[in-house]
Homo-oligomer: A and B are copies of this chain.
Amino acid sequence: MTTASPPLETSSTPWTKAHILDAASLTADEIMQVMAEAQTFAEILKRPVKKVPVLRGKVIINMFYENSTRTRTSFELAGKYLSADTINFGVSTSSVKKGETLIDTAETLLAMGADAVVIRHSSSGVCHQLANYFGGRVSVLNAGDGFHAHPSQALLDLFSMLQRIDTVKGKKITIVGDILHSRVARSNVHVLSKLGADVHVVGPATLIPVGFDQLGCTVHTQLAPALEGADVVMCLRLQLERQKSGLIPSLAEYSQLYGINRERLMQYTSPNVLLMHPGPMNRGVEITSDVADDPDFSLITHQVANGVSVRMALLHLVLGTHTQKGDELYETIA
């Protein structure tokens, strides 16, 4: 595999956002600033000592109301590599169970001196609510809210593509699977379409929301035309409980109609296709192991690695107004 650096076409506009709430509200320019920053951190993560002192003394609180080891660990590592203190505000042990309102919890975090809150919640919009409450006092980073948004995932997906292709502009990028319940799909469509990609989504009609094409993508229910000539294929995780709720007839039928395997990639896509999956995978359901583990065109493990760099970039951008930038980034802690 050859790795191209992403284009570091940073603008001279300074970063102004205090929060990362969704992909829809990021401008193309901001997206590319995140890419450039993430590239810096990706280089730092290759050093023997990966820590930089830029966020020392800052407190980052992880509030995960839904289970997620990958995303939580990725944010926790990103914070630690930046020398911040990270606290896991466990939900099972939290006052939430005692009936405290979200705003009282927010007030508590603010009062304790949190600088940033990374939150995953089953309700869409919780991050906006918190950010409204905090204003500029505490940064909110959305780590996935309901079916709404998962912006850091879309940004790491973009970063992973840009390690292999110079630009997504004009590229056909196809997202396959349960579009209805996927905040990953939504955030990817926003990020990619802002950068001029030709985004397609495909899945069973029962798993595609009405009017989804209005987000700026082409909607398919048949796999073949969706894959036809695709430069990037992104599989989504199929929540196995969808079958129980009657949205798909059977896992076997789903695999047969929408599962991604080598034969289909070879038959339909561009010869230089790249394959992605946000993980964790249901091997043999939405993706087969032979393509998932392909060292040449599968970006799946790169996505995980890039998650740390991209989240370092996001934390540094939103918290960096309080810190000196520049030299510190190039200094490792002794």
Contact = CB atoms under 8 A, between A and B. Distances in A.
Interface of A: 45, 47-51, 53, 56-57, 59, 61, 64, 67-70, 72-74, 76-77, 80-81, 85, 87, 89-90, 93-95, 97-101, 104, 107-108, 110-113, 240, 279-283, 301-305, 307-308, 322-323, 332-334
25 contacts: A45-B113, A48-B322, A53-B334, A56-B333, A57-B333, A59-B80, A64-B93, A69-B95, A73-B112, A76-B87, A77-B85, A80-B85, A80-B87, A95-B280, A99-B282, A100-B279, A104-B280, A110-B301, A111-B301, A111-B302, A111-B305, A112-B304, A112-B305, A112-B308, A113-B308
Contact of A101 (B72, B283, B334): B283
A85 B48 CA distance: 14
B51 A56 contact: yes
Please tell me how many copies of the chain the complex holds. 3
Contacts of A110: 301
Nearest to A66: B93
Contacts of A240: 99
A51 B93 CA distance: 26
Contacts of A67: 93-94, 97-98
B108 A70 contact: yes
A276 to B, nearest CB: 13
A304 to B, nearest CB: 4
Contacts of A93: 64, 67-69, 72
Contact of A59 (B61, B77, B307, B322): B77
A232 to B, nearest CB: 19
A98 B66 CA distance: 12
